Structure 1
Amino acid sequence: MVSQRITPSRPLRRADSFLGIHFDFHAAEDSIAVGERVTRAMVENIIEVVQPDYIQCDCKGHYGYSSYPTRVGYPAPGIIGDPLRIWREVTAERGVALYMHYSGVWDTTAVQHHPQWARIDEHGNSDPDMTSTFGPYVDQLLIPQLKELCDTYKVDGVWIDGDCWATRRDHADVVIATFQQETGIEDVPRVPTDPHYFEFSQFCREGFRRYLRHYIDELHAHHPDFQIASNWAFSSKMPEPVSADVDFLSGDYALQDSVNSARLEGRCLRHQGKPWDLMAWSFGGRHSHLIGEPVEDFSTKSIVQLQREAAIVLSLGGGFQAYFQQDRNGAIFPWQMKLMQQVAAFCRERQAVCHHAESVPQVALLYAGSAFYRQTQELFDAHAGELRPMKGILQALLERQHSVDILMEHQLDAQLAAYPLLILPEWDFLTPDVRNVLLAYTHNGGNLLLIGPQCAALFEQELNVQLEGDINEEAFYLEHDGWLARVCATAQQVRLGMAARAFGRRYTSNDDQGSSSIAASITEYGRGKIAATYFNFGVRYSDAMTTVVRDFLDVLVCELFPTPLVKVTGSHCIDVAVNRLQGKLAINLVNTAGPHADYRVHVFDGIPPIGPLSITIESQDRPQKITSYPMDVAIPFDWEQGVVTLSLPRLEIYDILIVE
C-alpha cells in the first residue's frame, strides 16, 4: 500500500499533513549575500524530489537577523532580492504549505537594539540574548513581524523556535513587583536553595504561558487560518495541559542518540489532543546552542539512519519532518535531497497504515509534571538530566518488547483506567490528588509499579513495608535467573509487612551465596497490585546497560501484567507499538539494532536485519487476515483458543502488521 502525495488545489493544513522538510541557517552578521543563490529552480527541485506536504524555511533565527527584506525587524546585512518571495511563489504554485522558522524569545539583535526588552538575570544583569516574556518585545516586534509574514507573504504559518525552552527566570523590577503583589512573598529568591524558589519559577512559567496565549490569540484574530506552533510547547519540556490555541505541536529531537530521544518525545506528544510531528536533524555530530561558543562538528546522516528515526515517530502515529541546514546565503545543499527523497519514499509507503493511529493501552509510564517542575533547574527544559530516569526505564521496557505509552498527570482521569499497568519512574513528589487517583486505580483492579525508594516512600503504607535507614548511593549486585550484575544507584533497605511479598534480591558482592537484601516487593491492594523496587536504575541503565537489569524489570512487569495483547520474541532490538487505526489493530515493529546510541558514531550506514520473530496476539475471534506492510503481503497464522501465532521471517527497518 503505497501512499503517494497528490497535489491538492490548496495546501494541506498542518493537522492533515504527514511529511515535511525544514531548512534554517540563523542569519547573522556574516550573512552578507542572502538570496544570491535562492532560485525558483532550487525550490521546484526540492518539491519535485521530496514531494513534501509542507516546507519550513528560515526567516529569523536566534541571532535576530531576518533572512528576508523585512520592514519590521532587522534584516541581515546583505540581502539580494527577496528570497522569501521565491519560496512562497513556488510553494503556492505547487500546492505545498509554507511555514516560517522564527526565533521567538531568543533574539540577540532585538536585545542589542532595545536593552529594555531583555530579561534580567538573578544578578541584576541584562541577558544578552533572551527577551523578557513580561516586556514589550512581543507587541513591538514579534506580533508585527508575524503579521508582516502573514499579510505580505501569505505564508501558511509559523514554527516558533527558541520559545519555551529559551525562557529564563526574569528578575526585572516590574516582574519582581508583580510577583510580590500577586503572591505576598517579599523576599525574592535568587538561587534554588532560597525559600519560595519554586513559587517564583511557577510565576515565571505562567508569564510564558500568558505571552504564548497573547501572541497566538492576536495572530488568530488577525488571520484565523494562520497556523502556529511553539517549538516544544506542551511536550516533555512543558508537561502540562495545552492552555494556548496552538494549531499543532512539534519539536526537534536530539541529533545524537536520536532513537532514544524520539522514543521519549513522541510518547509525550501523542496524548496531548493536538496534531503533532517531530523533526529529525539530518546530520549527526556535536552541537552547542551557546552563542560565542559554537560547536558544529556535523556530517550528513545516511539513508537508513534517518529512515529508522522516521520509523520511531511514524510508529507512534505522528508526522515527520527532517531538518537540513541552509548555506549562509540562504540556499540549500542540493546533493542532500537524495537523502530526503529516499526517506520520504520510506515514509509514504507506510502513511496509510500509521498516520494518526491511536495507541492501544498496555503499559504506561507516568510523567509527573508536578515533580519535574520542582526538580528542573530550567523553567521548561531538562538540561541537568531530570528526565534520564524515565528515559532509561522506557528504554529498558522497549528492549523487552513492551508497548509503552507516557501519560502526564492531567491525562490520568480520562485515560488511566484503560491501562493494565502504570509505572512511576523514580519520581519523588506527587500531589495529593494524583496520589489518590493512583490508589483508586489500583484498588479498582489496576497494577501500580513504583521505581526507587523515593517513589516507594510516597506509598509506604499501601505497600505494607517499612523503609529503613537512609537513602544512599550504593554499589550492589542485582540477581536475575542465576546471573548477577553490578548496579550503582540510589537504594534503601526495607522491611516487609505480612501482606507484602518479596521479589528479587540484591547482593553486597558478586556472590549469590553472600549477604543480600530485598530488591522489590508486591502487595495486593483492593482488586489490584502495588509493587516497588527499592533501588533506582533508570540512569544506570542508560549509562551502563546490562541484560540483568533489563530482564529483572521485565519479569516484574510480567508478574503484574502477564497477558499483554501482543508478545514478540526473537530479538531485543525491536520496538513494539500496538496501535489501532480505522478500527483495525496495527502492530508496529521497528528494528533498533545498530550503534544509534553511541556518541562516538556520528553516521552509520548499516542496520542489521533481525528475525525470525515469533509473535502472539490475543484475539477472541479468528482474524480474517493479517497483512504485512509496506510489502502488502498476507502473513500465514494459526489461531487456537483465543491466541494468534505467527512468524515474521525478517525485519529490515520498519514493518506494520494489520490485523483484520
Structure 2
Amino acid sequence: MVTSILDKVRPDYIQIDCKGHPGYSSYPTKVGNPAPGIEKDALRVWRRETARRGVGLFMHYSGVWDSRAVELHPDWAVTNADGKKNKDITSVFGPYADQLLIPQLKELAGDYRVDGVWVDGECWATVPDYGERATRLFREATGISDPPKTSKDPHWYEWMQFNREAFRKYLRHYVAEVRSVYPDFQICSNWAFTDHMPEAVSVPLNFLSGDYDHRNSVNSARYAGRYLVHQGLPWDLMAWSFSRTPNHDSIPWKQKTAVQLKQEAAIVLALGGGFQAYFSQNRDGSIKPGEMEVMAEVAQFARERQPFCHHSVQIPQIGLLFPTGSYQKESGGLFTRNTGNNRLRGVLQALLEGQNSVDIVSEDMLNRNIKKFPLIVVPEWQQLSRVLCEDLISYVKEGGSLLIIGNETAGFFSEWAAADAGSPTTFKRLGSGQIGIMPDAFGLEYLKNGSKEKRAVLNDAVKALFPDPIVRSEGATDIDLSASMLGNKLTVHLVNTSGPHDKVTYIEKVSPAGPLTLSIRTGKKPARITLQPSGKKCGFRFENGRAIVKIDTVPLYEILVVE
C-alpha cells in the first residue's frame, strides 16, 4: 500500500496521522495515549518503506488541543473565563508540554526516526487561560490585579498580549527541548507566523505551513500564500482533497476533482511555495487507493512546473499592508481571523482580479524592504500606530506611492493629506511621492458582491499611483498575475482562477482563460521568451523597454520565462 503511493505520486514527503485532536495516538506509543485495539505497528511500515525510497515521513500531531490528555489530567487544561476547566484545550502554562508533547516527539524522532512533525491545533486553538498560575503571572508581569473577561473590559489588549507571549514561550520551549537531542528533527507549527499569527518569526521552526479552507479554497490560498512569501522560511500550504456543501454539514464529505486540486495547487506554486493535499486514512491506518489516482495527476501537474516556480522570489510590486499591531488590537481573540482580515481579503481579491502582482506585508517586512515596493496599499484598518503612519509618510516623501482605503483609516493621515468631498479618489503630492485616498468602505462589500464598478475605481487609482509595473495585462480577467525571479531569469506566472469559488464547493471543470496581451518591462530586448512547461517559444515585439507578448489561452497555470 505504501509503495503504491510512492510509485504513483512520487512525493517529496508524506505526512500521516499520529495524534489528532481527540488525543489518541495511532501507533503503540510508550509515552502517550495509544488508541485501543492496535494490533500491528503501522508506523514502522510507513517509516521502513519511505526510508527505502528516500521520501521524508512527517507526523500530524495535535498539540495544544488534546482532549484525551485533558480527560486524564484535568489539571493540564485551560481554565475558561467562567472558572470552568476546558474539556479539550491544554494550558501553555501547565505541564502538558514536558510530560506528554516533548517525550512523544522525542520518541518519534528517536525510536521511529521520522523526519519531522506538523503540529496541529496550536496557535489557532490556544485560548486565554484564567487559571490560578496564569493569573498570578499576569498580575506579576503587568501590575494589573485581575484579567479582563471580555474584549470590552479594561486591559483586554494587555491580557491578550500576555497570553500570546505565553504561547510563543511554549513553542520555543518544546522546539528547543526536542532539538537539544534531535537537532535534525524538523518542526512546523500549523499556521504559526502566517496570516493566522501575523508577526515576525520568533521561533526557529524549519518551515511554515497551514491547511487553508476546504471551501472557497482558491481565495483562501491566494490570501495565505501572499503573506508567507516574505516570512523568510521555506513554506507550503495544504489543501483538503475533499469538502462538503456550505451550511449542510449533515451531507457526507465528497472527493474533489483533480482539476480542482490542480487549480488550488497552482495558486501556491506560482508564489514559490510547496503544495500538499490531505487525504483521510481509514480506521486501520490504511488509505483509499482510488483517491491516489487524483493525487498522482495533481503531482504530475506540479512536477511539470516545479523547475520554473519552486523557490522563486516575488518581485516587490504592490504591498498590501497587514500590520501586526493593528491586527492584535482589533482582534477579539489570540490568533484568529477578525473583521480587519476580511476587509483586507476583499481589497486583495479586487487587486488580484485587476491583474496586479500583490504581496501582503507586515510592518516588520516593510521595515526591511519598504523602498522596494513601488506602491503600498493600506486597507481599512481601524487602528494604526503613529510610528507606522510616520514611516509610511517618510516613504512617500522619498518617492513612494501610498493608497489609503476607507474614511476611518484616512483619518490617521489627515495631517498630511485629506480626501476631497465627493471624489471617489483624491490624489495629493507629498515630497517626491504621491498619496491616493479612497474614502468609501470597500473590502467587506467586495467580498460579498465582487462589484466590477468598485474594482474599476480601485484599479484606476492603482494605475494612477503605479503606472509602470513589471507586467501589464489586457484581455482576460480571470487570471492571477505575479512576477518573480528564479535565479537570474524573470518569470511571469499566469493562474486561471475562473470559477464561482465562494459559492460552489466542487469544481468539475475549469474553462480556459484568454486571450490576453502582456507588456513586460525588461529594459533591453530579451534573447527569448518561452511558455512553460510546454517549452513553446513566444513571439514578441519590443518597444519602449517592454516586451509585448500575446497569450492565446491559459488552461490552468502557465509560466513565461524571460531570458
TM tier, shorter chain?
A: over 0.9
Is residue 401 of structure 1 aligned with residue 360 of structure 2?
no
**Structure 2 CA distance for aligned equivalents of residues 404 and 296 of structure 1:** 37
Q: Determine which of 514, 519, 524 is the counterpart of 1:616.
A: 519
Identify the residue that residue 336 of structure 1 maps to in structure 2. 291
Is the strand fraction higher in 1 or 2? 1
Identify the residue that residue 540 of structure 2 maps to in structure 1. 637
Q: Determine which of 180, 185, 199 is the counterpart of 1:226.
A: 185
**Structure 2 CA distance for aligned equivalents of residues 548 and 658 of structure 1:** 33
Is residue 178 of structure 1 aligned with residue 137 of structure 2?
yes
1:150-169 aligned at under 5 Å gives the runs 150-169=109-128
Q: Determine which of 358, 366, 375 is the counterpart of 2:330.
A: 375
Query: Can you give the 5+ residue segments of structure 1 that lack an aligned partner in the other structure?
Result: 1-41, 466-493, 497-501, 503-516
Identify the residue that residue 558 of structure 1 maps to in structure 2. 463
Q: Determine which of 349, 357, 363 is the counterpart of 2:312.
A: 357
Distance 1:538-1:438 versus aligned 2 partners, 3 A rule = same
Query: Which residue identity lines up with residue 288 of structure 2 in the other structure?
Result: F
Contact 2:424 2:457 in 1 (8 A): no
Q: CA deviation at 1:537?
A: 0.9
Identify the residue that residue 471 of structure 1 maps to in structure 2. none
Q: Determine which of 222, 238, 256 is the counterpart of 1:301.
A: 256
Identify the residue that residue 170 of structure 2 maps to in structure 1. 211
Contact 1:62 1:103 in 2 (8 A): yes
Q: Determine which of 75, 79, 82 is the counterpart of 1:120.
A: 79
Q: CA deviation at 1:326?
A: 0.8
Contact 2:340 2:381 in 1 (8 A): no
Which deviations, in whole Å up to 9, do the C-alpha atoms of 1:602-649 show, x marking residues without a partner? 212211112221111112100000000010110000012212111111
Contact 1:286 1:295 in 2 (8 A): no
Identify the residue that residue 70 of structure 1 maps to in structure 2. 29
**Structure 2 CA distance for aligned equivalents of residues 228 and 294 of structure 1:** 33
Contact 2:514 2:551 in 1 (8 A): yes
Is the helix fraction higher in 1 or 2? 2
**Structure 2 CA distance for aligned equivalents of residues 187 and 94 of structure 1:** 56
Q: CA deviation at 1:568?
A: 1.3
Q: Determine which of 387, 398, 408 is the counterpart of 2:341.
A: 387
Identify the residue that residue 375 of structure 2 maps to in structure 1. 421
- Specify the SS of the correspondent of 1:252: coil
Identify the residue that residue 217 of structure 2 maps to in structure 1. 258
Contact 2:525 2:545 in 1 (8 A): yes
Query: Which residue identity lines up with residue 616 of structure 1 in the other structure?
Result: S
Identify the residue that residue 552 of structure 2 maps to in structure 1. 649
Q: CA deviation at 1:571?
A: 1.1
Identify the residue that residue 568 of structure 1 maps to in structure 2. 473
Q: CA deviation at 1:295?
A: 5.8
- Specify the SS of the correspondent of 1:621: coil
Q: Determine which of 423, 444, 451 is the counterpart of 2:405.
A: 451
Query: Which residue identity lines up with residue 231 of structure 2 in the other structure?
Result: Q
Q: Determine which of 201, 212, 219 is the counterpart of 1:242.
A: 201
- Specify the SS of the correspondent of 1:568: strand
- Specify the SS of the correspondent of 1:349: helix
Q: CA deviation at 1:331?
A: 1.2
Which deviations, in whole Å up to 9, do the C-alpha atoms of 1:70-118 show, x marking residues without a partner? 1111111111210111111110111100000000000000000000000
**Structure 2 CA distance for aligned equivalents of residues 300 and 204 of structure 1:** 38
- Specify the SS of the correspondent of 1:127: strand
Identify the residue that residue 70 of structure 2 maps to in structure 1. 111
Query: Can you give the 5+ residue segments of structure 2 that lack an aligned partner in the other structure?
Result: none
Identify the residue that residue 583 of structure 1 maps to in structure 2. 488
Q: What is the percent sequence identity of the aligned residues?
A: 47
Query: Which residue identity lines up with residue 441 of structure 1 in the other structure?
Result: Y
Identify the residue that residue 451 of structure 2 maps to in structure 1. 546
Is residue 59 of structure 1 aligned with residue 18 of structure 2?
yes
- Specify the SS of the correspondent of 2:147: coil
**Structure 2 CA distance for aligned equivalents of residues 287 and 110 of structure 1:** 32
Which deviations, in whole Å up to 9, do the C-alpha atoms of 1:387-429 show, x marking residues without a partner? 1111111000011100001111111121110111000111122
Identify the residue that residue 12 of structure 1 maps to in structure 2. none
Identify the residue that residue 534 of structure 1 maps to in structure 2. 439
**Structure 1 CA distance for aligned equivalents of residues 284 and 137 of structure 2:** 44
**Structure 2 CA distance for aligned equivalents of residues 114 and 613 of structure 1:** 61
**Structure 2 CA distance for aligned equivalents of residues 419 and 140 of structure 1:** 47
- Specify the SS of the correspondent of 2:276: strand
- Specify the SS of the correspondent of 1:262: helix
Q: CA deviation at 1:595?
A: 2.4
**Structure 1 CA distance for aligned equivalents of residues 161 and 12 of structure 2:** 38
**Structure 2 CA distance for aligned equivalents of residues 295 and 569 of structure 1:** 44
Which deviations, in whole Å up to 9, do the C-alpha atoms of 1:110-137 show, x marking residues without a partner? 0000000000011111000000001000
Query: Which residue identity lines up with residue 446 of structure 1 in the other structure?
Result: G
Q: CA deviation at 1:287?
A: 8.1
Contact 2:478 2:497 in 1 (8 A): yes
Query: Which residue identity lines up with residue 371 of structure 1 in the other structure?
Result: S
Query: Which residue identity lines up with residue 107 of structure 1 in the other structure?
Result: D
Distance 1:60-1:607 versus aligned 2 partners, 3 A rule = same
**Structure 2 CA distance for aligned equivalents of residues 453 and 425 of structure 1:** 10
Query: Which residue identity lines up with residue 322 of structure 1 in the other structure?
Result: A
**Structure 2 CA distance for aligned equivalents of residues 545 and 584 of structure 1:** 35
**Structure 2 CA distance for aligned equivalents of residues 574 and 188 of structure 1:** 49
Query: Which residue identity lines up with residue 549 of structure 1 in the other structure?
Result: K
Query: Which residue identity lines up with residue 546 of structure 1 in the other structure?
Result: S
Q: CA deviation at 1:286?
A: 5.0
**Structure 2 CA distance for aligned equivalents of residues 413 and 387 of structure 1:** 21
**Structure 2 CA distance for aligned equivalents of residues 87 and 317 of structure 1:** 29
Which region of structure 1 is more displaced relative to structure 2, 426-435 or 642-651? 426-435
Identify the residue that residue 477 of structure 1 maps to in structure 2. none
Q: CA deviation at 1:349?
A: 0.2
- Specify the SS of the correspondent of 1:656: strand
Contact 1:299 1:602 in 2 (8 A): no
- Specify the SS of the correspondent of 1:364: strand
